[in-house]
Structure 1
Amino acid sequence: MNHPGHAVPLARGPRVDLRPLRHDDAEEFTARARASRQLHHPWLFPPDTAAAFAAYAGPRVGNPALASLLVCERDAGGAIAGYVNINNIVRGAFLNGTLGYGAFAHAAGRGLMTEALHLVAGYAFGPLGLHRLEANVQPDNAPSLALVRRAGFRNEGFSPAMLHVDGAWRDHERWALTADMPAGRAATRARGQVG
Protein backbone atom coordinates (compact mmCIF):
# COMPACT_ATOMS: atom_id res chain seq x y z
CA MET A 1 0.00 0.00 0.00
CA ASN A 2 1.39 3.39 -0.94
CA HIS A 3 0.98 6.46 1.25
CA PRO A 4 1.58 9.41 -1.10
CA GLY A 5 -0.33 11.87 1.07
CA HIS A 6 1.74 11.34 4.19
CA ALA A 7 4.32 13.70 5.57
CA VAL A 8 8.01 13.38 4.80
CA PRO A 9 9.56 10.75 7.06
CA LEU A 10 11.22 11.98 10.25
CA ALA A 11 14.01 9.43 9.84
CA ARG A 12 15.03 6.90 7.21
CA GLY A 13 16.88 3.65 7.56
CA PRO A 14 17.89 1.06 4.99
CA ARG A 15 14.56 -0.78 5.29
CA VAL A 16 12.19 1.42 7.30
CA ASP A 17 11.05 5.00 7.58
CA LEU A 18 9.65 6.64 10.69
CA ARG A 19 6.77 8.99 10.18
CA PRO A 20 4.18 10.57 12.45
CA LEU A 21 0.88 8.83 13.12
CA ARG A 22 -2.02 10.47 11.28
CA HIS A 23 -5.78 10.17 11.63
CA ASP A 24 -6.04 8.76 8.11
CA ASP A 25 -3.91 5.73 9.13
CA ALA A 26 -6.96 4.22 10.84
CA GLU A 27 -7.94 1.66 8.20
CA GLU A 28 -4.48 0.14 7.69
CA PHE A 29 -3.44 0.36 11.35
CA THR A 30 -6.59 -1.33 12.66
CA ALA A 31 -6.44 -4.07 10.01
CA ARG A 32 -2.82 -4.78 10.99
CA ALA A 33 -3.78 -4.80 14.68
CA ARG A 34 -6.61 -7.28 14.07
CA ALA A 35 -4.27 -9.57 12.12
CA SER A 36 -1.75 -9.38 14.99
CA ARG A 37 -3.99 -10.18 17.98
CA GLN A 38 -2.40 -13.57 18.59
CA LEU A 39 1.13 -12.12 18.41
CA HIS A 40 0.31 -9.24 20.76
CA HIS A 41 -1.70 -11.06 23.43
CA PRO A 42 -1.20 -10.71 26.40
CA TRP A 43 1.34 -7.89 26.08
CA LEU A 44 -0.21 -5.30 23.78
CA PHE A 45 -3.67 -4.14 22.80
CA PRO A 46 -3.32 -1.65 19.95
CA PRO A 47 -6.58 -0.21 18.63
CA ASP A 48 -8.27 -2.59 16.21
CA THR A 49 -11.52 -0.76 15.46
CA ALA A 50 -12.22 2.65 13.95
CA ALA A 51 -13.63 3.94 17.27
CA ALA A 52 -10.65 2.64 19.26
CA PHE A 53 -8.23 4.17 16.76
CA ALA A 54 -10.00 7.55 16.95
CA ALA A 55 -9.70 7.46 20.77
CA TYR A 56 -6.02 6.44 20.48
CA ALA A 57 -5.01 8.93 17.79
CA GLY A 58 -7.06 11.88 19.06
CA PRO A 59 -4.80 12.90 21.95
CA ARG A 60 -1.62 11.78 20.14
CA VAL A 61 -1.62 13.55 16.78
CA GLY A 62 0.14 16.89 17.18
CA ASN A 63 0.73 16.49 20.94
CA PRO A 64 4.16 17.87 21.97
CA ALA A 65 4.21 15.72 25.14
CA LEU A 66 4.65 12.58 23.06
CA ALA A 67 5.67 11.34 19.65
CA SER A 68 3.56 8.66 17.97
CA LEU A 69 5.57 7.19 15.14
CA LEU A 70 4.82 4.57 12.54
CA VAL A 71 7.44 2.15 11.30
CA CYS A 72 6.90 1.88 7.54
CA GLU A 73 8.54 -0.59 5.17
CA ARG A 74 10.38 1.20 2.40
CA ASP A 75 10.30 -1.80 0.02
CA ALA A 76 6.56 -2.26 0.55
CA GLY A 77 5.43 1.20 -0.52
CA GLY A 78 5.29 2.55 3.02
CA ALA A 79 3.18 -0.26 4.51
CA ILE A 80 2.89 0.02 8.28
CA ALA A 81 5.12 -2.61 9.92
CA GLY A 82 4.76 -1.40 13.51
CA TYR A 83 4.69 1.60 15.77
CA VAL A 84 6.78 3.30 18.44
CA ASN A 85 5.37 5.84 20.87
CA ILE A 86 7.58 8.14 22.90
CA ASN A 87 5.18 8.81 25.76
CA ASN A 88 5.36 11.03 28.83
CA ILE A 89 8.07 13.30 27.47
CA VAL A 90 9.49 15.28 30.37
CA ARG A 91 11.70 18.32 29.77
CA GLY A 92 13.82 20.22 32.28
CA ALA A 93 16.48 18.27 34.14
CA PHE A 94 15.03 14.86 33.15
CA LEU A 95 14.75 15.04 29.31
CA ASN A 96 13.14 11.60 29.26
CA GLY A 97 10.57 9.74 27.21
CA THR A 98 8.96 6.36 27.86
CA LEU A 99 8.66 3.99 24.92
CA GLY A 100 5.73 1.86 23.89
CA TYR A 101 6.10 -0.21 20.72
CA GLY A 102 4.86 -3.14 18.73
CA ALA A 103 5.50 -4.92 15.45
CA PHE A 104 2.60 -6.16 13.37
CA ALA A 105 2.50 -9.89 12.63
CA HIS A 106 3.51 -9.66 8.96
CA ALA A 107 6.69 -7.78 9.97
CA ALA A 108 7.64 -9.57 13.21
CA GLY A 109 10.98 -11.32 13.42
CA ARG A 110 12.49 -9.53 10.42
CA GLY A 111 14.69 -7.00 12.27
CA LEU A 112 12.54 -4.04 11.26
CA MET A 113 11.84 -3.01 14.86
CA THR A 114 15.54 -3.18 15.75
CA GLU A 115 16.24 -0.76 12.91
CA ALA A 116 13.27 1.36 14.00
CA LEU A 117 14.45 1.66 17.62
CA HIS A 118 17.85 2.81 16.37
CA LEU A 119 16.11 5.49 14.29
CA VAL A 120 13.84 6.44 17.21
CA ALA A 121 16.89 6.91 19.46
CA GLY A 122 18.53 9.18 16.87
CA TYR A 123 15.33 11.20 16.55
CA ALA A 124 14.82 11.39 20.33
CA PHE A 125 18.41 12.39 21.11
CA GLY A 126 18.66 14.70 18.09
CA PRO A 127 15.62 16.81 17.08
CA LEU A 128 13.57 16.05 20.23
CA GLY A 129 16.51 16.98 22.48
CA LEU A 130 15.98 14.12 24.95
CA HIS A 131 18.73 12.53 27.02
CA ARG A 132 17.02 9.29 28.05
CA LEU A 133 14.55 6.74 26.69
CA GLU A 134 12.94 4.18 28.98
CA ALA A 135 11.21 0.92 28.06
CA ASN A 136 9.24 -1.04 30.63
CA VAL A 137 8.91 -4.70 29.68
CA GLN A 138 7.06 -7.57 31.32
CA PRO A 139 9.62 -10.22 32.38
CA ASP A 140 7.95 -12.99 30.33
CA ASN A 141 7.90 -10.94 27.11
CA ALA A 142 11.03 -12.54 25.63
CA PRO A 143 10.78 -10.87 22.17
CA SER A 144 10.54 -7.39 23.68
CA LEU A 145 13.42 -8.04 26.07
CA ALA A 146 15.54 -9.28 23.16
CA LEU A 147 14.66 -6.13 21.20
CA VAL A 148 15.78 -3.69 23.92
CA ARG A 149 18.98 -5.68 24.45
CA ARG A 150 19.75 -5.57 20.70
CA ALA A 151 19.06 -1.83 20.72
CA GLY A 152 21.68 -1.30 23.44
CA PHE A 153 19.39 -0.53 26.39
CA ARG A 154 20.63 -1.37 29.90
CA ASN A 155 18.56 -3.04 32.61
CA GLU A 156 17.97 -0.54 35.40
CA GLY A 157 15.73 -2.51 37.71
CA PHE A 158 12.50 -4.27 38.46
CA SER A 159 9.14 -2.71 39.32
CA PRO A 160 6.51 -5.01 40.86
CA ALA A 161 2.87 -4.38 39.90
CA MET A 162 3.93 -1.39 37.78
CA LEU A 163 1.30 -1.23 35.02
CA HIS A 164 -2.28 -2.46 34.67
CA VAL A 165 -2.25 -4.72 31.59
CA ASP A 166 -4.82 -7.31 30.50
CA GLY A 167 -6.87 -6.97 33.68
CA ALA A 168 -4.10 -7.17 36.29
CA TRP A 169 -1.19 -5.21 37.71
CA ARG A 170 1.93 -6.56 36.00
CA ASP A 171 5.58 -6.58 37.00
CA HIS A 172 7.99 -4.88 34.61
CA GLU A 173 11.70 -4.69 34.05
CA ARG A 174 12.97 -1.14 33.47
CA TRP A 175 15.37 -0.70 30.56
CA ALA A 176 16.91 2.60 29.48
CA LEU A 177 19.12 4.11 26.82
CA THR A 178 20.82 7.47 27.26
CA ALA A 179 22.37 9.74 24.67
CA ASP A 180 25.83 9.18 26.16
CA MET A 181 25.74 5.37 26.02
CA PRO A 182 27.49 3.75 23.02
CA ALA A 183 24.20 2.83 21.30
CA GLY A 184 22.81 6.31 22.00
CA ARG A 185 25.89 8.02 20.55
CA ALA A 186 25.82 5.74 17.49
CA ALA A 187 22.12 6.44 16.87
CA THR A 188 22.69 10.18 17.16
CA ARG A 189 25.65 10.11 14.74
CA ALA A 190 23.83 8.03 12.14
CA ARG A 191 20.30 9.24 12.67
CA GLY A 192 19.48 9.53 8.98
CA GLN A 193 17.29 12.61 9.36
CA VAL A 194 15.49 13.75 6.24
CA GLY A 195 13.41 16.66 7.45
Structure 2
Amino acid sequence: MAPVPTHSWPVTLEHGDLVLRPFRRSDQEEWMALRSRNREWLRPWDATNPVPETGLKSFHEMVRVLNRSGRDGTGLPWLICVRGTADGRAAIAGQLSVSSIVRGSAQSAAIGYWIDQARAGQGLVPTAVALAVDHCFSVLGLHRIEVNIRPENRPSLRVVEKLGFRHEGLRRAFLHIDGDWRDHESFALTAPEVPGGLLARLGRGRPAG
Protein backbone atom coordinates (compact mmCIF):
# COMPACT_ATOMS: atom_id res chain seq x y z
CA MET A 1 0.00 0.00 0.00
CA ALA A 2 1.30 3.47 -0.91
CA PRO A 3 2.21 5.69 2.06
CA VAL A 4 -0.27 8.37 3.08
CA PRO A 5 1.30 11.61 1.80
CA THR A 6 2.37 14.02 4.51
CA HIS A 7 4.14 17.32 4.08
CA SER A 8 5.77 19.81 6.41
CA TRP A 9 8.50 22.42 6.08
CA PRO A 10 11.16 23.07 7.26
CA VAL A 11 12.58 19.54 7.14
CA THR A 12 16.14 18.45 7.94
CA LEU A 13 17.50 15.02 6.91
CA GLU A 14 20.67 13.50 8.35
CA HIS A 15 22.89 10.49 7.73
CA GLY A 16 26.21 10.26 9.54
CA ASP A 17 28.03 13.57 9.03
CA LEU A 18 25.81 14.56 6.09
CA VAL A 19 22.97 17.01 6.72
CA LEU A 20 20.32 18.25 4.29
CA ARG A 21 18.78 21.40 5.71
CA PRO A 22 16.81 24.42 4.47
CA PHE A 23 18.41 27.73 3.56
CA ARG A 24 18.67 30.49 6.16
CA ARG A 25 19.17 34.19 5.57
CA SER A 26 22.31 33.94 7.72
CA ASP A 27 23.86 31.55 5.15
CA GLN A 28 24.52 34.39 2.71
CA GLU A 29 28.23 34.96 3.33
CA GLU A 30 29.17 31.26 3.42
CA TRP A 31 26.98 30.32 0.44
CA MET A 32 28.19 33.20 -1.74
CA ALA A 33 31.84 32.46 -0.91
CA LEU A 34 31.32 28.80 -1.86
CA ARG A 35 29.64 29.74 -5.13
CA SER A 36 32.42 32.20 -5.93
CA ARG A 37 35.14 29.58 -5.36
CA ASN A 38 33.27 27.14 -7.58
CA ARG A 39 32.21 29.53 -10.34
CA GLU A 40 34.23 27.90 -13.14
CA TRP A 41 33.64 24.38 -11.82
CA LEU A 42 29.87 24.88 -11.94
CA ARG A 43 29.53 27.15 -14.97
CA PRO A 44 29.05 24.35 -17.59
CA TRP A 45 26.22 22.79 -15.54
CA ASP A 46 24.48 25.76 -13.94
CA ALA A 47 20.97 26.64 -15.07
CA THR A 48 20.77 30.11 -16.63
CA ASN A 49 17.83 32.39 -17.20
CA PRO A 50 17.02 33.19 -20.86
CA VAL A 51 15.09 36.23 -19.59
CA PRO A 52 17.58 37.68 -17.06
CA GLU A 53 15.39 40.61 -16.01
CA THR A 54 12.89 38.17 -14.47
CA GLY A 55 15.48 36.55 -12.19
CA LEU A 56 15.88 36.88 -8.42
CA LYS A 57 17.67 40.04 -7.37
CA SER A 58 19.31 39.03 -4.06
CA PHE A 59 20.27 36.11 -1.85
CA HIS A 60 17.53 36.98 0.64
CA GLU A 61 14.95 37.01 -2.14
CA MET A 62 16.19 33.61 -3.29
CA VAL A 63 15.89 32.20 0.24
CA ARG A 64 12.38 33.60 0.58
CA VAL A 65 11.25 32.07 -2.73
CA LEU A 66 12.90 28.70 -2.05
CA ASN A 67 11.44 28.34 1.42
CA ARG A 68 8.03 29.39 0.16
CA SER A 69 8.20 26.51 -2.33
CA GLY A 70 9.00 24.23 0.62
CA ARG A 71 6.00 25.44 2.58
CA ASP A 72 3.75 25.21 -0.48
CA GLY A 73 4.89 21.67 -1.21
CA THR A 74 6.06 22.49 -4.74
CA GLY A 75 9.74 22.01 -3.95
CA LEU A 76 12.25 20.94 -1.31
CA PRO A 77 15.28 23.26 -1.39
CA TRP A 78 18.11 21.87 0.74
CA LEU A 79 21.70 22.78 1.41
CA ILE A 80 24.13 19.84 1.50
CA CYS A 81 26.14 20.29 4.70
CA VAL A 82 28.90 18.25 6.32
CA ARG A 83 29.72 18.13 10.03
CA GLY A 84 33.29 18.35 11.19
CA THR A 85 34.20 22.04 11.25
CA ALA A 86 36.38 23.28 14.10
CA ASP A 87 33.45 25.16 15.66
CA GLY A 88 31.13 22.16 15.44
CA ARG A 89 29.01 23.53 12.61
CA ALA A 90 27.96 21.57 9.55
CA ALA A 91 29.68 23.43 6.71
CA ILE A 92 27.84 24.11 3.46
CA ALA A 93 29.18 21.80 0.73
CA GLY A 94 26.55 22.14 -1.99
CA GLN A 95 22.87 22.17 -2.77
CA LEU A 96 20.13 19.66 -3.58
CA SER A 97 16.69 20.70 -4.76
CA VAL A 98 13.59 18.60 -5.30
CA SER A 99 11.54 20.60 -7.80
CA SER A 100 8.50 20.32 -10.05
CA ILE A 101 6.55 18.32 -7.46
CA VAL A 102 3.33 17.24 -9.17
CA ARG A 103 0.46 15.60 -7.35
CA GLY A 104 -2.70 14.07 -8.78
CA SER A 105 -2.17 11.18 -11.17
CA ALA A 106 1.56 11.90 -11.62
CA GLN A 107 2.93 12.03 -8.04
CA SER A 108 6.35 12.91 -9.41
CA ALA A 109 9.27 15.30 -8.95
CA ALA A 110 12.76 16.08 -10.27
CA ILE A 111 16.05 16.35 -8.39
CA GLY A 112 19.00 18.60 -9.18
CA TYR A 113 22.23 19.14 -7.24
CA TRP A 114 25.70 20.65 -7.19
CA ILE A 115 28.71 20.08 -4.94
CA ASP A 116 31.85 21.97 -3.97
CA GLN A 117 34.73 20.87 -6.20
CA ALA A 118 36.85 20.22 -3.09
CA ARG A 119 34.20 17.73 -1.90
CA ALA A 120 33.63 15.96 -5.23
CA GLY A 121 34.25 12.21 -5.23
CA GLN A 122 33.61 11.80 -1.49
CA GLY A 123 30.22 10.10 -1.92
CA LEU A 124 28.26 13.08 -0.59
CA VAL A 125 25.98 13.54 -3.59
CA PRO A 126 24.84 9.90 -3.94
CA THR A 127 24.05 9.84 -0.22
CA ALA A 128 22.22 13.18 -0.40
CA VAL A 129 20.18 12.06 -3.41
CA ALA A 130 19.31 8.76 -1.69
CA LEU A 131 18.16 10.62 1.44
CA ALA A 132 16.00 12.96 -0.63
CA VAL A 133 14.49 10.16 -2.73
CA ASP A 134 13.61 8.12 0.35
CA HIS A 135 11.91 11.16 1.88
CA CYS A 136 9.95 11.76 -1.32
CA PHE A 137 8.79 8.15 -1.55
CA SER A 138 8.20 7.26 2.11
CA VAL A 139 7.02 10.59 3.53
CA LEU A 140 5.60 12.59 0.62
CA GLY A 141 4.14 9.52 -1.05
CA LEU A 142 5.55 10.36 -4.48
CA HIS A 143 5.73 7.65 -7.12
CA ARG A 144 8.46 8.81 -9.50
CA ILE A 145 11.68 10.83 -9.25
CA GLU A 146 13.70 11.93 -12.26
CA VAL A 147 17.15 13.42 -12.71
CA ASN A 148 18.16 15.22 -15.92
CA ILE A 149 21.87 15.52 -16.72
CA ARG A 150 23.89 16.98 -19.56
CA PRO A 151 25.57 14.14 -21.52
CA GLU A 152 28.98 15.77 -20.94
CA ASN A 153 28.64 15.80 -17.15
CA ARG A 154 30.42 12.55 -16.31
CA PRO A 155 30.58 13.06 -12.51
CA SER A 156 26.82 13.56 -12.35
CA LEU A 157 26.18 10.60 -14.63
CA ARG A 158 28.20 8.44 -12.24
CA VAL A 159 25.86 9.47 -9.41
CA VAL A 160 22.73 8.11 -11.12
CA GLU A 161 24.61 5.01 -12.29
CA LYS A 162 25.73 4.32 -8.72
CA LEU A 163 22.16 4.75 -7.45
CA GLY A 164 20.63 2.59 -10.16
CA PHE A 165 18.43 5.18 -11.87
CA ARG A 166 16.99 3.93 -15.17
CA HIS A 167 18.03 5.75 -18.34
CA GLU A 168 14.87 6.92 -20.10
CA GLY A 169 16.30 8.74 -23.10
CA LEU A 170 17.56 12.05 -24.46
CA ARG A 171 15.63 15.30 -24.07
CA ARG A 172 16.58 17.74 -26.80
CA ALA A 173 17.20 21.38 -25.80
CA PHE A 174 15.67 20.57 -22.41
CA LEU A 175 17.11 23.25 -20.09
CA HIS A 176 18.84 26.61 -20.48
CA ILE A 177 22.36 25.93 -19.19
CA ASP A 178 25.48 28.08 -19.48
CA GLY A 179 23.77 30.51 -21.82
CA ASP A 180 22.02 28.17 -24.28
CA TRP A 181 19.40 25.41 -24.55
CA ARG A 182 21.14 22.10 -23.82
CA ASP A 183 20.30 18.44 -24.38
CA HIS A 184 19.89 16.31 -21.25
CA GLU A 185 19.86 12.59 -20.56
CA SER A 186 16.84 11.67 -18.45
CA PHE A 187 16.98 9.10 -15.63
CA ALA A 188 14.21 7.97 -13.27
CA LEU A 189 13.21 5.72 -10.38
CA THR A 190 9.78 4.73 -9.12
CA ALA A 191 8.96 3.81 -5.55
CA PRO A 192 8.26 0.10 -6.31
CA GLU A 193 11.82 -0.23 -7.68
CA VAL A 194 13.34 0.50 -4.26
CA PRO A 195 10.99 -1.14 -1.73
CA GLY A 196 13.64 -1.12 1.00
CA GLY A 197 14.74 2.44 0.35
CA LEU A 198 17.47 3.89 -1.86
CA LEU A 199 19.83 4.73 1.00
CA ALA A 200 19.78 1.11 2.18
CA ARG A 201 20.50 -0.10 -1.33
CA LEU A 202 23.35 2.38 -1.69
CA GLY A 203 24.80 1.02 1.55
CA ARG A 204 24.73 -2.47 0.10
CA GLY A 205 26.43 -1.24 -3.04
CA ARG A 206 23.82 -2.86 -5.27
CA PRO A 207 22.51 -0.91 -8.29
CA ALA A 208 19.13 -1.59 -9.83
CA GLY A 209 18.78 -4.54 -12.13
The TM-score range, normalised by the shorter chain, is 0.7 to 0.9
Q: Which residue of 1 aligns with 2:68?
A: 62
Q: Give the drift of 1:8.
A: 8.4
Q: Give the drift of 1:85.
A: 0.4
In structure 2, stretches of 5+ residues that fail to align are 1-8, 49-55, 202-209
Q: Which residue of 2 aligns with 1:4?
A: none
Counterpart of 1:36 (choices 28, 38, 48) is 38
- C-alpha change, 1:18 and 1:58, in structure 2 (3 Å) is same
Q: Give the drift of 1:124.
A: 1.1
Answering whether residue 98 of structure 2 is matched by residue 93 of structure 1, we say: no
Quote the Cα distance in structure 1 between the aligned partners of 2:191 and 2:98. 15
> What's the TM-score once normalised by structure 2's chain length?
0.78
Counterpart of 2:186 (choices 171, 174, 195) is 174
In structure 1, stretches of 5+ residues that fail to align are 1-6, 191-195
Q: Which residue of 1 aligns with 2:153?
A: 141
Larger radius of gyration: 2
Quote the Cα distance in structure 1 between the aligned partners of 2:61 and 2:11. 24
**Aligned-partner residue type, residue 142 of structure 1:** R
SS of corresponding position for 1:84? strand
Q: Give the drift of 1:106.
A: 2.6
State, as a whole percentage, how many aligned pairs show the same letter.
Answer: 36
Once the two structures are superposed, the pairs formed by residues 61-140 of structure 1 within 5 Å of their partners are 61-63=67-69, 64-76=73-85, 77-140=89-152
Residue by residue, what CA displacement relative to the aligned partner does 1:78-130 show, whole Å, maximum 9, x if unpaired?
10111110111001111111111100123212111111111111111122221
Report if the CA contact (8 A) 1:123-1:188 is conserved.
no
Moved over 6 A (4+): none
SS of corresponding position for 1:92? coil
Q: Give the drift of 1:163.
A: 1.1
> What's the TM-score once normalised by structure 1's chain length?
0.83
Residue by residue, what CA displacement relative to the aligned partner does 1:123-146 show, whole Å, maximum 9, x if unpaired?
111222211111110101111111
SS of corresponding position for 1:62? helix
Quote the Cα distance in structure 1 between the aligned partners of 2:99 and 2:11. 19
Report if the CA contact (8 A) 1:71-1:83 is conserved.
yes
Q: Which residue of 1 aligns with 2:207?
A: none
SS of corresponding position for 2:197? helix
**Aligned-partner residue type, residue 56 of structure 1:** M
Residue by residue, what CA displacement relative to the aligned partner does 1:28-83 show, whole Å, maximum 9, x if unpaired?
1111111111211211269xxx9542343231113221010111102232101111
**RMSD across aligned positions (CA):** 2.3
